[in-house]
Amino acid sequence: MNLLPSGICFSVCVTIFWFTSEVDASWWHMGTLGSQVMCDNIPGLVSKQRQLCRQHPKIMQAVGTGVKEWIGECQHQFQNHRWNCNTMARDHNVFGKLLHRSSREAAFVYAISSAGVVYTLTRACSQGELDSCSCDPGKKGSSWDDKGTFEWGGCSDHVDYAIKFTQAFIDAKEKKERDARALTNLHNNRAGRKAVKRFMKLECKCHGVSGSCNVRTCWLAMADFRQTGDYLRKKYNSAVQVVMNQYGTGFTRALRKFKRPTKNDLVYFEDSPDYCIRDHDSGSAGTGGRICNRTARGADSCEVMCCGRGYDTSRVSRTTKCECKFHWCCEVHCRDCHEEVDVHTCKGPS
């Protein structure tokens, strides 16, 4: 299995292995022996990581099941763009060679995958699926917010646990490598982990006579992952190009006119390909066959999407629900309507 050579990405490299490998979930149900065999066969782990993997097979499994979710979010964020977070499913390494580069897109993938792992793990903790964690034990007793005092109750998401575990796993490898790629990946991984925490919100329930809110019990809950996705997408747009500093100990913005990257910003140091043409080496799937919008003006316009190669138009019939009527009580009846629509798809390179 050809995975990233010396990548750092716990989330990307490791979970991609589970996601794409033929090894199915039954391995994990074989108990200690199963997880031992499994963990020993994931390429590219340092011994500390193998140890964590063997100690926490359930965590690893939880992380694996979350992969589809964050890949789905990545694809949602880029659905109308030449690069659409295509995973080249046939590749063993889901993102092809994209992650060999240190491009803006790779930065986004590192960040959203780290965020996705934190999100999935936190949720598994709250749902009681793991032995090593549960709801945040620190959220006890009373506290206050701008509406007054409240009692902690219910289950507060223990996002700090997930952040710590994810980080421990990554740092085990980081102690071995400290090149430019490692440093930027590490930075983007951390930005992703932190992003989840930004969207924790206090949810409360009122108690008291006849709906008065004399007593409130509250818990901290993660927002929908979409919010993290939207946020990281903005960070992708404003990602900062960096270069190694002269001592090789860290990086600095590539040009003085760029802003200084903060811990929340995504950083990258290689220019991106234009993603017009399929090119395995740069992780580009090309835009041939992609659907484009003839009347749009932005990234999903046929002009931009097809890179000037033109497009084919075909007429397809679609069935939609229409003329829906509400019947008392409580049903909705609709008719099936057929409509013919034109679909435009980019020509491939000739």
Q: Which lies closer to ligand NAG via its Cβ, residue 41 or residue 293?
A: 293
Token reading at 269: 């140091």
Residue whose pair of structure tokens reads 């910003």 in the numeric block: 265
What is the C-alpha separation between 171 and 190, in angstroms, rounded?
11
DSSP result, 118-163: HHHHHHHHHTT--SS--S-TT--SEEEETTEEEEE-S----HHHHH
By the rule CB under 6 A, 217 interacts with ligand NAG: no
By the rule CB under 6 A, 293 interacts with ligand NAG: yes
Considering only residues 296, 299, 303, 348, which one is a binding residue for ligand NAG as defined by CB under 6 A? Answer: 296
Q: What does DSSP assign to residue 323?
A: E
By the rule CB under 6 A, 41 interacts with ligand NAG: no
Q: Cβ 303 to ligand NAG, closest distance in Å?
A: 12
Q: Cβ 302 to ligand NAG, closest distance in Å?
A: 10
Q: Cβ 300 to ligand NAG, closest distance in Å?
A: 7
Considering only residues 295, 314, 317, 319, which one is a binding residue for ligand NAG as defined by CB under 6 A? Answer: 295
Q: Cβ 307 to ligand NAG, closest distance in Å?
A: 18
What are the phi and psi torsion angles at 346 (to 5°)? -65, 140
Cα distances from 277 to residues 82, 90, 109, 172, in angstroms, run 10, 18, 20, 37
**Sequence-ordered list of residues with C-beta below 8 angstroms from that of 275, at least 6 positions apart, any chain:** 82, 83, 284, 285, 286, 287
Binding part of the chain for ligand NAG, among 85-93, 196-204, 223-231, 292-300 by CB under 6 A, reads: 292-300
Q: Which lies closer to ligand NAG via its Cβ, residue 295 or residue 319?
A: 295
Q: Which lies closer to ligand NAG via its Cβ, residue 33 or residue 341?
A: 341
What are the phi and psi torsion angles at 103 (to 5°)? -85, 175
Q: Cβ 293 to ligand NAG, closest distance in Å?
A: 4
User: Residue 38, SS3?
Assistant: helix
Binding part of the chain for ligand NAG, among 16-24, 91-99, 172-180, 288-296 by CB under 6 A, reads: 288-296
Q: Cβ 320 to ligand NAG, closest distance in Å?
A: 13
What is the C-alpha separation between 149 and 212, in angstroms, rounded?
14
Amino acid at 38: M
Q: Which lies closer to ligand NAG via its Cβ, residue 244 or residue 343?
A: 343
Q: Which residues bind ligand NAG (CB under 6 A)?
A: 293, 295-296
